[in-house]
């Protein structure tokens, strides 16, 4: 029997906001993971059907076991969500969920070097089809580019020092494991930073993972495609775990929002230029996890949930 190590984040909030606009709605879960959200939606709404996308076929296999009892109400699509949505055929979904980032499974079980706490091969690819591992990225990129990645995707103020230390370590044997990278980063930062609230390598690990999987580019393209594909009256939800992702969701929702004062998008006709869609925002400000959930599941502390509805009557075909 598979063990599930990830708790679905902000589940109650999602269940109360992402209400199917029709009983036989189609829900697309762009980040299926271990299928925790999927199981809850399939149980709560017995007539919906569900398509679960994940870039990682290994975690998807765990979800398939968990969701087996729902039979042909569930189907699985393997690949990065922007690519799967870009090749979408058939009716648009009524509900779309993005629960961005990686799963607890990746830290605990994958063996692919996502965390600084274990000494594993420094891979970090979600999909076996991603072009290069984190170790290859660190071996190939110029120091300035490594510093940029760590600064922009990790929001790490010691990015230059860390990049210089990585390049120096490259000359003496390379960086093949997560343990080695954690050591190099710890030694590169000032001593007081080593004893801060988070491990000194946390931000560097996040940055590398984002770069290896092009997480921000994919979030940008994926959320736009979801808005475009969504059936009229349908709902899209995005859970982000750091400000870089949340900013993307906020900007796209604002851009397509009928209530957006900043862009004036409410006056625009529905057209190809605007992604073929207009949205109403259900969350003007993002929702955060409850104190109870934060105590139970510390990983939910940084979660921000935004939900928007595509303008139009449910049941009409998508353009
Ligand atoms: C936070 S976990 C989802 C957890 C899931 N909601 C649950 O309840 O078990 C995010 C999942 O999305 C996948 N993922 C991340 N970025 C992706 C992308 N661009 N395309 C497809 N899958 C992605 C990861 O492999 C991971 O399994």
Pocket-testing residue among 33, 34, 95, 128, ligand 1, by greatest number of atoms within 8 A of Cβ: 33
Q: Has residue 260 got a pLDDT over 50?
A: no
Q: Does any ligand 1 atom lie closer than 6 A to the CB of residue 52?
A: no
75, β-bridge pairs: 51
In this prediction the pTM is 0.91
* Dihedral sign, Cα of residue 73, residue 76, residue 81, residue 84: negative
Q: Look at residue 264 in the predicted model and tell me its pLDDT.
A: 38
Residues 295-310 have pLDDT tens digits of: 999 989 999 999 999 9
Per the listing, tokens 């070097």 go with: 113
Binned at pLDDT 50, 70 and 90, residue 115 comes out as: very high
Q: Has residue 273 got a pLDDT over 60?
A: no
Q: How far is CA 80 from CA 62, 87, 138, 219, 305, in A?
A: 17, 11, 23, 10, 21
For residues 19 and 220, what is the distance between their CA atoms, to the nearest angstrom? 24
Q: Look at residue 65 in the predicted model and tell me its pLDDT.
A: 96
Residues 46-62 have pLDDT tens digits of: 999 999 999 999 999 99
Q: Does any ligand 1 atom lie closer than 6 A to the CB of residue 54?
A: yes
Q: Are 281 and 237 in contact (CB under 8 A)?
A: no
Atom of ligand 1 lying closest to residue 59 CA: 27
Q: Does any ligand 1 atom lie closer than 6 A to the CB of residue 102?
A: yes
Q: Measured in angstroms, how far is the CA atom of residue 32 from the centroid of ligand 1?
A: 5
Neighbours of 148 (CB within 10 A): 17
Q: Look at residue 193 in the predicted model and tell me its pLDDT.
A: 78
For residues 12 and 99, what is the distance between their CA atoms, to the nearest angstrom? 14
Q: How is domain 109-213 classified at the CATH fold level?
A: DNA polymerase; domain 1 (1.10.150)
Pocket-testing residue among 54, 215, 305, ligand 1, by greatest number of atoms within 8 A of Cβ: 54
Q: Are 230 and 92 in contact (CB under 8 A)?
A: yes
Residues 169-210 have pLDDT tens digits of: 998 888 999 999 999 999 999 887 777 778 899 999 999 999
Q: Has residue 262 got a pLDDT over 50?
A: no
Neighbours of 103 (CB within 10 A): 27
Residues 212-246 have pLDDT tens digits of: 999 999 999 999 999 999 999 999 999 999 999 99
Q: Whose CA is nearest to atom 4 of ligand 1?
A: 33
Decide yes or no: CATH 3.40.50.150 for domain 11-106+215-310. Answer: yes
Q: Has residue 9 got a pLDDT over 60?
A: yes
68-72, 96-100, 174-178, 273-277, range with the lowest pLDDT: 273-277
Domain residue spans of the chain: 11-106+215-310, 109-213
Q: Look at residue 61 in the predicted model and tell me its pLDDT.
A: 96
């Amino acid at each position: 029997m598979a063990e599930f190590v990830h708790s679905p984040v902000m589940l109650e909030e999602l269940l109360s906001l992402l209400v199917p606009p029709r009983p036989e709605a189609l829900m697309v879960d762009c980040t299926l993971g271990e299928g925790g959200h999927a199981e809850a939606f399939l149980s709560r709404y017995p007539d919906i059907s569900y398509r679960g996308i994940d870039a990682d076929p290994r975690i998807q296999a765990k979800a398939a076991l968990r969701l087996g009892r729902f039979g042909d109400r569930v189907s699985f699509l393997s690949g990065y969500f922007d690519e799967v949505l870009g090749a979408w055929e058939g009716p648009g979904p009524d509900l779309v969920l993005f629960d961005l980032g990686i799963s607890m499974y990746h830290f605990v079980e994958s063996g692919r070097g996502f965390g600084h706490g274990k000494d594993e091969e420094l891979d970090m690819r979600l999909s076996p089809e991603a072009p290069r591992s984190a170790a290859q990225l660190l071996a190939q990129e110029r120091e300035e580019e490594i510093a940029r990645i760590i600064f922009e995707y990790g929001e790490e103020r010691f990015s230059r020092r860390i990049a210089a230390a990585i390049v120096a370590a490259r000359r003496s044997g390379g960086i093949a494991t997560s343990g080695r990278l954690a050591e190099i980063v710890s030694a590169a930062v000032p001593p007081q930073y080593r004893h801060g609230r988070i491990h000194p390598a946390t931000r560097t690990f996040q940055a590398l993972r984002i770069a290896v999987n092009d997480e921000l580019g994919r979030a940008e393209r994926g959320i736009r495609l979801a808005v475009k594909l969504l059936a009229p009256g349908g709902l899209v939800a995005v859970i982000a775990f750091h400000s870089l992702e949340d900013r993307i969701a906020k900007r796209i929702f604002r851009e397509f929002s009928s209530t957006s004062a900043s862009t004036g998008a409410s006056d625009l006709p529905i057209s190809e230029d605007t992604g073929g869609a207009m949205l109403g925002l259900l969350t003007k400000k993002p929702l955060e996890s409850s104190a109870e959930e934060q105590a139970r599941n510390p990983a939910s502390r940084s979660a921000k949930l935004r939900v928007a509805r595509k303008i139009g009557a449910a049941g009409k075909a998508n353009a």
